[in-house]
């Protein structure tokens, strides 16, 4: 058998395996232990977007702590994130001064809230900001570059370390996860599908330690660093499995790493 035929058979086996695991983990019960449960508390579009963005930004470390701290942040915003961001007075903003999640502190929290206010009042919101970047060349990289620029229109050097810059080669795991939440709409009850103008086919894998390690063990990622080049490499392979929805395999790769210690 020719080498390329063996390679094709191997990829077919990997695809079948990932399809099975995707079906297993892309289920509503997945939400029970995942930070995506936070925006699920809301029904208004803007509340979902803002709570999802803030939750995604602090989504590193222990997932129990992530969920606990994200819930605390929503409580500080009186479970009205859009109203809080756009209408809160300075004394109300100051309630965020003592918020912490690992190295993300009250200064960072207050900066992002002010930045989101600017984005919603002057840029048409998170969705419009992403769309303006995306339509430049139809890539998520351009969308995230535009978002980064909008977030840091206000002075805030300290907070830059918490928002990935894909122009500098960052994998942008948390931002890609946020986009997956907002864009994918497969009726499975996990992702929201609020932003139909960005096609799921354009999404990039939220690459982290777990998904990266599993992808390398499966042989669908060769690059050693978890950077933007690695995101492009593994997502391109996933597109050969499902061109219309490559990032659905995030459920499989993440589930294999977290729950099955693959």
Q: Are 250 and 206 in contact (CB under 8 A)?
A: yes
Report the C-alpha gap between 42 and 28 in whole angstroms.
Answer: 16
Q: pLDDT tens digits for 4-51?
A: 544 565 999 999 999 999 999 999 999 999 999 999 999 999 999 999
Averaged confidence pLDDT in the chain: 95
CA geometry: angle 138, 186, 204, nearest 5 deg: 35
Q: pLDDT tens digits for 98-154?
A: 999 999 999 999 999 999 999 999 999 999 999 999 999 999 999 999 999 999 999
In this prediction, residue 8 carries a pLDDT of 60
Print burial letters for 221-231: b (CB count within 10 Å at least 16), e (below 16): bebeebbbebb
Q: pLDDT tens digits for 182-193?
A: 999 999 999 999
């Amino acid at each position: 058998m020719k080498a390329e035929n063996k390679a094709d058979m191997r990829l077919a086996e990997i695809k079948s395996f990932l399809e099975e695991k995707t079906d297993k983990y892309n289920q509503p019960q997945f939400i029970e232990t995942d930070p995506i449960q936070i925006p699920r508390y809301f029904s208004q579009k803007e509340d979902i977007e803002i709570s999802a963005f803030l939750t995604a930004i602090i989504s590193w470390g222990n997932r129990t702590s992530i969920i606990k701290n994200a819930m605390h942040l929503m409580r500080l915003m009186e479970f009205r994130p859009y109203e809080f961001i756009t209408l809160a007075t300075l004394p109300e903003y100051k309630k965020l001064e003592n918020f912490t999640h690992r190295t993300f502190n009250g200064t960072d929290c207050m900066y992002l809230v002010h930045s989101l206010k600017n984005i919603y009042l002057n840029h048409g919101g998170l969705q419009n900001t992403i769309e303006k970047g995306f339509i430049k060349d139809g890539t998520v990289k351009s969308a995230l570059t535009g978002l980064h620029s909008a977030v840091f229109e206000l002075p805030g050097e300290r907070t830059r370390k918490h928002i990935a810059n894909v122009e500098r080669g960052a994998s942008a795991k948390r931002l890609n996860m946020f986009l997956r939440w907002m864009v994918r709409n497969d009726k499975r009850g996990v992702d929201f599908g609020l932003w139909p103008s960005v096609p799921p086919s354009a999404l990039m894998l939220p690459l982290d330690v777990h998904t990266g390690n599993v992808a390398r063990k499966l042989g669908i990622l060769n690059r050693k660093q978890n950077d933007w080049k690695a995101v492009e490499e593994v997502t391109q392979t996933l597109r050969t499995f499902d061109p219309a929805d490559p990032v659905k395999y995030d459920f499989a790769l993440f589930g294999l790493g977290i729950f099955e210690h693959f």
